[in-house]
Amino acid sequence: MSDSKENTSSHPLSTTECYEWSRMHGEPLGTANFKSELSDFVVEETLRFELSGEGAHHFLYIEKQNINTDIVVQKLIRFAEVKPTDVGYAGKKDRFAITRQWFSVQLPLLREIDWSEFNDDEVKVLEVTRHDKKLRIGAVKSNHFDIRLRDLNISQEDFKKRLDKIIEEGFPNYFGEQRFGNRGANLTRGIDLLIKNKKLKNRNLQGLLFSAVRSYLYNHVVSERINKGLSAKLLQGDFVMLSGSEKGFVVEDISAEQPRFIENDILLTAPLAGSRPQPMHEALSFEAECLSEYQVLIEKLANKRFNEERRALKCFPKNVTSEWHNETEVSLSFDLPKGAFATSMLRELVTLVEHKPVKGMTNNEHD
């Protein structure tokens, strides 16, 4: 066991090699500058439930620029003079972007706040309503993206062909690089915590670090399945997920499920590692082989009471449109389900050269 620990802890998970996941549609067509301006990456969140308009929880649809979701939470706590547990949100959004997402703040029923006074150079309240329950992580239905790619060195015809293929066949549902932290720091720390059986006082941070490890293992299995030509093939015992749902089942009769698989009514999945693996037979053997060198990490996750969860192997963008502004600039608009990363779709098109804007920059471009 000691040798396994040493091998696992020395594995180069924190290097750039850990981001070289297999692509589904071939090598990138070229390069593109990404996030040259804040307005080059715009995200709008849609919740999976309707707001009642009544209750103690003030729901705020907030536009933020060049700050992360946690900073908005801290601003709300200070402004409304509430406890951290009184503030909720459904998911974290990119810092280097213009994002619009919901937050909830619980207040006494008779207390009123002029939320317009919360606005500053970084945040703006676009809509206010009420609801009877706090906003919880995972309550997102979908995210809408408006993205501009600049300085492309590929033809519009080739771009369209690849984009059409992605729309029809989907793209690998990889967790994006941001999940692993700056230069893989979250991944490295998460592995260290597991191997050395450490605990952090900050449970939220600890959960984030463990999530980075599970995300890496998921990406690894997806990459291996693509690499071995199995991303469009059912294996005996595959755990598949119903399209548009988080529910699924084990495939016992491939021939009976093949028509639904071809129509993308059911989707292949890959594991978020933990105890109680869900696939069986051939599919279970395949995943076990993929993860054989990481068994120590999986055992440690199981000891932390993580049960295996499943995530769809592919993602299909919806409502996709593109508009070329000139020969080297294109805007993409599309919807992705919750948890999907726009960068995982874009990497199937081009190699992204990211130019993050500096703090406090102005941006008056509106398209």
**Catalytic residue from among 40, 86, 94, 238:** 94
Average the pLDDT over 14-36 and give the result: 84
Q: Domain 19-40+146-176+220-367 adopts which CATH fold? A: Pseudouridine synthase (3.30.2340)
pLDDT bin (cut points 50, 70, 90) of residue 4 is: very low
pLDDT at 361: 38
pLDDT bin (cut points 50, 70, 90) of residue 304 is: very high
Q: Which residue has the tokens 């919740």?
A: 47
Rounded CA-CA distance 355/344 in Å is 17
Residue 120 has pLDDT above 60, yes or no: yes
Average the pLDDT over 25-43 and give the result: 96
94 is catalytic: yes
Residue 6 has pLDDT above 90, yes or no: no
Q: Domain 49-138 adopts which CATH fold? A: Pseudouridine synthase (3.30.2350)
pLDDT at 18: 57
Enumerate the H helices of the chain as residue ranges: 2-9, 69-80, 156-169, 185-195, 203-227, 254-262, 281-290, 295-303, 342-346
pLDDT at 362: 36
pLDDT at 103: 98
Rounded CA-CA distance 195/213 in Å is 12
Q: Which residues contact 256 (CB under 8 A, 6 or more apart)?
A: none
> Taking Cα atoms as reference points, which of 61, 293, 68 lies closest to residue 181?
68
Calculated CA dihedral for residues 133, 144, 174, 35, nearest 10 degrees:
-120
Location of each CATH 3.30.2350.20 domain in the chain: 49-138
pLDDT at 181: 87
The per-residue pLDDT of the chain, averaged, comes to 91
Q: What percent of the chain has pLDDT over 70?
A: 92
Burial 48-79 (b: 16+ CB within 10 A, else e): eeebeeebbbbbbbbbbbbbebeebbebbbee
pLDDT bin (cut points 50, 70, 90) of residue 357 is: low
Identity of the highest mean pLDDT range in 5-9, 180-184, 336-340: 336-340
The predicted-structure confidence for 107-119, as pLDDT tens digits, reads as follows: 998 899 999 999 9
The predicted-structure confidence for 141-180, as pLDDT tens digits, reads as follows: 999 999 999 999 999 999 999 999 999 999 999 999 989 9
Q: How far are the Cα atoms of 274, 310, 339 from residue 245, in angstroms, in the given order?
A: 21, 12, 13
Location of each CATH 3.30.2340.10 domain in the chain: 19-40+146-176+220-367
Residue 241 has pLDDT above 60, yes or no: yes
Of the listed ranges 1-15, 147-161, 165-179, 245-259, the least confidently predicted one is: 1-15
- Do the beta carbons of residue 243 and residue 207 sit within 8 Å? no
DSSP helix/strand/coil, 146? strand
Packing angle of the helix pair 281-290, 203-227 (nearest 10 deg) = 110
pLDDT bin (cut points 50, 70, 90) of residue 7 is: very low
pLDDT at 134: 97
Residue 364 has pLDDT above 90, yes or no: no
**pLDDT higher at 366 or 25:** 25
